[in-house]
Structure 1
Amino acid sequence: MPAAPPPPQWVLDISSPPAPKSKSGTLADPPGYTPAASAITSKQRSQAAKTVTQRKAPTTEEMDTLKMKKAWEIAIAPAKQLPMNAIGMYMTGNTLQIFSIFMVFTLFKTPVMAVMNLQRVFAPFEAPGISTRLISVKVVYVLMNMLGLGLGIWKVNQMGLLPTTRSDWLAWEGERTWSERAVPREWL
């Protein structure tokens, strides 16, 4: 019976990882790096405990500033979606198709739902120190969503669904009364 062939090199590499390289003392470990527990000596542990500094808690002013920055990012986010929505509206064309109808429905639904959830969106940023400054952020958020609604209205107009011409209102138009006639009334 022939002898079994030796295992491939990759099997040998997986089963026996390479020995750790000796570390030179000139380079420090990157932040967040923790070497394996067996490689750390007690001397290294005591040195690491001395060098670790506690991160101080942020002040209320710093937290308020951070909350306002995040609130402004959320307020401007609907405007960042407008170019992509405009390209999508251009690509769907002006004919009535199921895809363009769904796109227009989404253009109307998204801003309306966003404005309805206004308080829930900005609830994490509510704080006594910034509640008055948050009003302007909410107003900008509503205006950015209204721009999305405007894009939807523009698209509906391009599709010919808005009654903007006189012929769209013929059902409500009265009969014309002539101020003069070319023939006597009895002949008609």
Structure 2
Amino acid sequence: MVEQVPLPPPPPQWVLDLDSKPIRKSKPASIPDPPGYVAGGTGNTKRTKQTQQQQRTPPTAEETNQLKLKKAWELALAPAKQLPMNGIMMYMSGNSLQIFSIMMVFMLFKGPIQGLMNVNQVFSRFEAEGIQSQMLGIKLVYVLMQLLALGLGVWKVNGMGLLPTARSDWLAWETERLPLERAIPAFR
């Protein structure tokens, strides 16, 4: 008598689904192909590159100038976007003389001073013949934003008590005022 070996069970449906190719769904005719897409191609064919070169026209000088102005305005207003964050950080660091608050104030002064010294270098890539007069206004706004950041640093230094604002800070013979009373809170 020959012994029959039982057949293994058939594979589950998910295994069969993984082995089979997906069914292509037909694309609705109302949706156009994206620019540069070639159906059935890999995207690296000569025909694709030729059609992209034929379809793309170089921008005119006016379009280039408008784009340069837009990017220059974004760059000029960038320091203003940092002001709220820097203000909150300066407020939260407190007014005591600690290494953390001193380093924060140093960095607050360093950025705007470097920005003011490099105004022409920052905007040199946006210079063009047709927009020189408009670039002057953009540079002026950039300088104003850097001065606002410096003003924030001065506010912080004043809050820390490092600005000489009393007469005794300037005159050697003037003594510091001594308070007549001191209030010390007590907790019960």
TM-score by length of 1: 0.71
Aligned residue pairs, count: 164
Distance in structure 2 (CA, Å) of the matches to 1:7 and 1:95: 73
The equivalent of 1:158 in structure 2 is 159
96-105 or 26-35, which deviates more: 26-35
The equivalent of 1:28 in structure 2 is 32
Q: Which has the higher contact order (CA 8 A, sep 6+)?
A: 1
Letter in 2 for 1:20: R
Distance in structure 2 (CA, Å) of the matches to 1:120 and 1:6: 72
User: In 2 relative to 1, CA 9–130 (structure 1 residues): closer, same or farther, beyond 3 Å?
Assistant: farther
User: In 2 relative to 1, CA 150–26 (structure 1 residues): closer, same or farther, beyond 3 Å?
Assistant: closer
The equivalent of 1:65 in structure 2 is 66
Aligned residue for 1:173, secondary structure, equals coil
Measure how far apart 1:109 and its partner are.
Answer: 0.4
User: In 2 relative to 1, CA 7–127 (structure 1 residues): closer, same or farther, beyond 3 Å?
Assistant: farther
The runs of 5 or more residues in structure 1 that have no matched partner are 39-45, 176-188
The equivalent of 1:173 in structure 2 is 173
Measure how far apart 1:126 and its partner are.
Answer: 0.6
Measure how far apart 1:65 and its partner are.
Answer: 1.9
TM-score by length of 2: 0.71
User: In 2 relative to 1, CA 14–93 (structure 1 residues): closer, same or farther, beyond 3 Å?
Assistant: farther
Identical residues among aligned pairs (%): 60
1:1-188 residue pairs with structure 2 within 5 A?
16-31=20-35, 33-37=37-41, 54-170=55-171, 172-173=172-173
Distance in structure 2 (CA, Å) of the matches to 1:34 and 1:70: 33
Q: Once superposed, what is the RMSD of the aligned Cα atoms?
A: 3.3
Distance in structure 2 (CA, Å) of the matches to 1:8 and 1:167: 90
User: In 2 relative to 1, CA 162–33 (structure 1 residues): closer, same or farther, beyond 3 Å?
Assistant: same
Distance in structure 1 (CA, Å) of the matches to 2:113 and 2:7: 75
Give the conservation status (yes or no) of the 8 Å contact 2:108–2:153.
yes
Distance in structure 2 (CA, Å) of the matches to 1:7 and 1:167: 93
The runs of 5 or more residues in structure 2 that have no matched partner are 1-5, 176-188
Aligned residue for 1:131, secondary structure, equals helix
